[in-house]
Amino acid sequence: MTEIKISGTFKLLAFLRRKEAIIYAWDAEIMTAYIHELPDWPHFQWDEKHLAVKVAAVRYRQGRMLGALERLGIKLREEAILRTLTEEVVKSSEIEGEILDREQVRSSLARRLGIDVGALKPADRDVEGVVDMILDATRDYRKPLTAERLFGWHAALFPTGYSGLHKIAVGKWRTEEAGAMRVVSGAIGRERTHFEAPEAKRLDKEMAAFLEWVEDKAVESMVDPVLRAAIAHLWFVTIHPFEDGNGRIGRAIIDMMLARAEKSAQRFYSMSAQIRKERGKYYDYLEETQKGDLDITDHLEWFLGCMERAFDGAEIILKDVLRKARFWERHSGEEFNVRQRNILNRLMEGFEGKLTSSKWAKITKCSQDTAGRDIEDLIKRHILKKDAAGGRSTSYSLVESEINDKQ
């Protein structure tokens, strides 16, 4: 497999398959073939000059963020990485409509990374599987991406052999018996079809070409590694080789390729968290690309922009980690019970929703009276304050001086 430069654009040459583009006729409406059905598939093209400024900006911020991470002490760096990986696992599953228990994810990651976070919450098998995949993709980013490795990731996602109530082929490419693979989004009954993936009989050749390209050293030396991550994700998602789990595996490939780009297993930003925020645009660009030609400049431009916005989220995490460290440093001479420490840490890590005494009692597994006493103690110490709304809806938040900590 080679790669050549033509008129300022790159063409990725894998298996050359010369056939006429398929034209679908449906209700007398003519529809163009998907990109994987075009004669030159998978010869992706893009405008290198148009993307140059954005690529440079992303690479600059990558370097700055890595530098900021390295300047943190070991403990703070571990906390930042743990928060980032937790976001990655939770949000990647959330994109597919699967809600994982954040504390289970955090505990599973901490246990595997050897990070002390106090009492660890037991994790369900589905949580452990996603965590296994993400850590394999990032910690072992130098390992070649092979069919067997992908099969292992897939098996980790579906340890029971079922996706919901449906039995699926696990640890192997989808088969013709599974029928056509349509990529859809939206709630049941309101699904939107974005494209149809290649037929199962093509998968061996398609995946062989993809995996060869991913490990091709010539491509590695000619194409910017960030663009390679974007292309790898698009290519894999286009093929959609499994019956289920393609989205999560595709985003794990992004993480692996970006770890290679940075030559670091330390994840300090979450692409899945950012894709989750702009899921609508993600599916729009995916659909437009699948129904367009092989010029993927617009898709790559969106990916680079998504990365920049992910860096914005990473900066918030780093600030939160530093703020929390300074908070406990300021209050190092004071006594806090385990429940108070737990809730205060959560508040400084981005507590979801409003903090009420009921939530306090539920999270810390104590009585309502105990929760009330814990909260009142922190109010007297000017750490917590009552929010404006009162009565049954009384909620609490950190005092402003604790949020905007002194440097």
Band the pLDDT of 323: cuts 50, 70, 90: confident
Report DSSP state, residue 242: S
Q: What is the pLDDT of residues 177-199, one digit of tens each?
A: 877 787 777 666 677 778 889 99
Structure tokens at 384: 């917590």
Lowest-confidence segment of 25-39, 89-103, 292-306, 360-374 by average pLDDT:
25-39
Lowest-confidence segment of 11-25, 39-53, 103-117 by average pLDDT:
11-25
Query: Which tops the pLDDT comparison, 179 or 381?
Result: 381
Q: Is 276 helix (H, G, I), strand (E, B) or coil?
A: helix
HSE (side-chain half, CA atoms, 13 Å) at 404:
2
Q: Which residues pair with 24 in a beta bridge?
A: 31
- List domains and CATH numbers for the chain: 3-319 (1.10.3290.10), 336-403 (1.10.10.10)
38-45: average pLDDT:
95
Asked if 350 contacts 320 with a C-beta cutoff of 8 angstroms, the reply is yes
Q: What is d(CA 34, CA 182) in angstroms, rounded to the nearest whole number?
A: 12
pLDDT at 29 over 80: no
Supply the pLDDT for residue 353. 84
Other C-beta atoms within 10 Å of 301: how many?
18
- From residue 71, give the alpha-carbon distance in Å to each of 64, 81, 259, 402: 11, 13, 19, 23
Structure tokens at 261: 């780009």
Q: What is the DSSP string of 278-315?
A: THHHHHHHHHHHHTS-SB-HHHHHHHHHHHHHHHHHHH
Lowest-confidence segment of 70-84, 135-149, 228-242, 250-264 by average pLDDT:
70-84
Q: Which amino acid is it at 45?
A: Q
Q: What is the DSSP string of 251-270?
A: HHHHHHHHHHHHT-S---S-
191-213: average pLDDT:
92
pLDDT at 16 over 60: no
pLDDT at 210 over 70: yes
Q: What is d(CA 27, CA 25) in angstroms, rounded to the nearest whole number?
A: 7
Alpha-carbon torsion (121, 127, 130, 132), positive or negative: positive
Q: What is the pLDDT of residues 46-56, one digit of tens each?
A: 999 999 999 99
Query: Which tops the pLDDT comparison, 342 or 242?
Result: 242
* pTM, two decimal places: 0.82
Whether the upstream peptide bond of residue 42 has omega within 30° of 0, thus cis, is yes
The most confident of the ranges 157-166, 176-185, 226-235, 314-323 is 226-235
Supply the pLDDT for residue 138. 96
Supply the pLDDT for residue 276. 95
Q: What is d(CA 211, CA 215) in angstroms, rounded to the nearest whole number?
A: 6
Asked if 261 contacts 226 with a C-beta cutoff of 8 angstroms, the reply is yes
In the block, residue with structure tokens 């298996």: 15
Say if residue 300 is exposed, middle or buried (CB neighbours under 10 Å; 0-12, 13-18, 19+).
buried
Say if residue 109 is exposed, middle or buried (CB neighbours under 10 Å; 0-12, 13-18, 19+).
buried
- From residue 266, give the alpha-carbon distance in Å to each of 69, 82, 85, 367: 9, 10, 9, 40
Query: Which tops the pLDDT comparison, 211 or 186?
Result: 211
Lowest-confidence segment of 114-118, 211-215, 367-371 by average pLDDT:
114-118
